[in-house]
Amino acid sequence: MLARAAPDIPKDGAWLYEPKWDGFRAIVFREGPNVHIASRNALALERYFPELIEPLKAALPERSIVDGEVVIATEHGLDFDALQQRIHPAASRVRMLAEKTPASVVLFDLLGLDSDDLRERPLTERRTGLMRAIASSPTVGVTPQTTDPNEATTWFTRYEGAGLDGVVAKDPAGTYRPGERRWVKVKHLRTVDCVVGGYRLAKDGKGIGSLLLGLYDADGALHHVGHTSSFDAAERRAILEQLQPLVGGDSFGHGRTPGGPSRWQRSADSAWTSVRPELVCEVSFDHLQSGRFRHASRFLRWRPDKAPHSCDFDQLSPPEEFSLNDILVTRGD
């Protein structure tokens, strides 16, 4: 079951609110000694997270199906980078990472128990069944839940420092509908002033494809943090002309630079042009991961009133940090 995006936490009507976890969504099947962890695209995740098999056996009833999220929690919050590194063909590397950065599972729904298909039961009943059925542990836990929109609003702000994505709102009487977007998700959206350090051309060569954005560190080096491409055809041509006097300037040469070709990107798509870091723009983004925007940011406006060197990482002071166990609930909570 999926969620549709909304700009604000819904408050009218009856809702059950949960934190939105930043990990790999997974359906876990246990049948006696066998545990299968299936991703949204049917990838068998147990191959990449072998350390979860025994804790899931200990936590789940012998015949059960649960919905949840695979996460990696560190002292600085959830680490999505570490999750991505697990999807690796070498079993030896997977084993090494499993020891170095062990994963956990956060559960939020019970879909099957013994011979019963619970998907047609209301969410409140499935939640009660989950709390009764699961033997929670430091590795397998249950997401917190509240009916209070004010508490959900507090979670939305307070738990960002733990790496949570936002809040999900669910109908307490709702049944479980695979593939349907009946839940509501509200994700963090923040803004930041960035320096334009370069650009990539559009495929037709008649304008920019994207602006390459940078932020300065404490030593004055400009680091590439992401890109924005939210322009129409006329704007792409106008911006390309605007950038021409700045072409060839020294921008990302002393810090992190835009990436080259990869298995996701053809060589022609990765070529970029450096410009003098004189233009500043404000963009919105949803998540900063390892000093980069995880997704493309959205261009909001030019900021001619801002000095380029004022665009630093200090704008992104991290919120209060929490550990995973500070957030999860246990049986009896």
Per DSSP, the chain holds a count of helices (H) and strands (E) of 8, 20
Q: How far apart are CA 193 and CA 66, in angstroms?
A: 42
Of the listed 20, 185, 203, 206, which one is catalytic? 20
Q: Is 20 a catalytic residue?
A: yes
Q: Which tokens hold the place of 221?
A: 């080096």
If you compute the radius of gyration of the chain from its CA atoms, what whole number of angstroms results?
23
Q: How far apart are CA 333 and CA 328, in angstroms?
A: 10
Q: DSSP secondary-structure letter at 96?
A: H
Q: Which tokens hold the place of 227?
A: 């890109």
Q: How far apart are CA 212 and CA 258, in angstroms?
A: 8
Burial 286-322 (b: 16+ CB within 10 A, else e): bbbbeebbeeebebeeebeebebeebbeeeeeeeeeb
Instruction: State the Cα angle at 211 between 206 and 212, rounded to 5°.
Output: 135
Distance set, CA 276 to CA 15, 32, 70 (Å)? 50, 62, 42
Q: Which residues are catalytic?
A: 20
